[in-house]
Amino acid sequence: MHETIRRFDIGHFKCTAIADTDQGGARNVLLVEGEQRILIDTGAGSHDPGNPGRLLARLKDAGVAAASIDAVILTHADFDHIGGAADRNQAAFPQARHSIMSSEVSFWRQQPVRLKRSPLYDEAFRSRVNDVPPMALEVLGEILHPVDDQLSEIVGGVTMIAAPGHTPGNSVVRIQSQGHVLLFVADLFYQPENLTTRDWVSQYDYDPMLVVETRRRLLDEAAANNTLLMAYHLPFPGLGRVRPSEGAWEWIAA
């Protein structure tokens, strides 16, 4: 059995990385416990039949009731990040305020074509990508908390930072306490190899020009400060650092 839970501290915050998957295609969710219980991203829930979300079961195993989650931060609304919050089309964390950039909400409310038809993926995947987010935002309804600022402290020490490009309202989350920092970078990159060029763009990046600018800004800063990063789709738990290498960056797993 591969590792599915890893606990570590960032200053006074008790952090738990939780694997939302049992197989390939990692989805690394983060639980942050201080004065409040905060979940950062929520996995795919019931919306990925071939690789179903395990978050709810793993929280339960860890003794954390879904109803005890005080806040959810959604880095963006792609189905593999928001799907677990609207598991089986019901709010999975009904007591939690769900923070998300308001630009992300308005993007998805226009029912955009996030992915066009392509031989690279099948039609079921394409329709999940396009259809789950607006449905999930609808399900969350009144517990959705759109955030307008470029930098927004959700609770003391936990800050959403605008990181547009992958989606229009994409964000990263900084957890900071007692001189320690973790930056949850979600889909800023998928594989260590993506870091070997400063111009890399994924087929899933909505605005390639903007994503390159955002990625350079965040990764240069993280390399300069030796910041601990957590990446959503890297092999569990996705923790590591970047350092400058051959004109771009190199991933050092932690």
Closer residue to Zn ion (CB): 13 or 78: 78
Residues 144-203 that bind Zn ion (CB under 5 A): 187
Tell me how far, at minimum, the Cβ of 102 lies from Zn ion, in Å: 20
State the DSSP code for 71. E
Binding range to Zn ion, per CB under 5 A, among 43-51, 65-73, 79-87, 175-183? 79-87
Pairing of strands 71-73, 37-40: parallel
| DSSP E strands, the chain | 5-10, 13-19, 28-33, 37-40, 71-73, 97-101, 144-147, 151-155, 158-162, 171-177, 180-186, 228-231, 239-245, 248-253
Name the residue type at position 131: D
Tell me how far, at minimum, the Cβ of 16 lies from Zn ion, in Å: 19
Nearest CA to 199 among 245, 252, 233, 248? 248
Residue 80 binds to Zn ion (criterion: CB under 5 A):
yes
How many residues touch Zn ion (CB under 5 A)? 2
Binding range to Zn ion, per CB under 5 A, among 48-56, 62-70, 75-83, 96-104? 75-83
Binding range to Zn ion, per CB under 5 A, among 77-85, 112-120, 207-215, 221-229? 77-85
Nearest CA to 224 among 190, 188, 183? 183
State the DSSP code for 205. -
Tell me how far, at minimum, the Cβ of 92 lies from Zn ion, in Å: 18
Tell me how far, at minimum, the Cβ of 43 lies from Zn ion, in Å: 10
End-to-end CA distance of the chain: 21
Binding range to Zn ion, per CB under 5 A, among 80-88, 99-107, 128-136, 240-248? 80-88
Tell me how far, at minimum, the Cβ of 68 lies from Zn ion, in Å: 26
Closer residue to Zn ion (CB): 48 or 80: 80
Closer residue to Zn ion (CB): 20 or 187: 187
Q: Give yes or no for a contact between 219 and 230, defined as CB atoms under 8 angstroms apart.
A: no
Tell me how far, at minimum, the Cβ of 246 lies from Zn ion, in Å: 27
Query: How many CB atoms are closer than 10 A to CB 109?
Result: 12
Helix (H, G, I), strand (E, B) or coil at 51: coil
Residue 205 binds to Zn ion (criterion: CB under 5 A):
no
Closer residue to Zn ion (CB): 80 or 87: 80
Residues at the interface with Zn ion (CB under 5 A): 80, 187
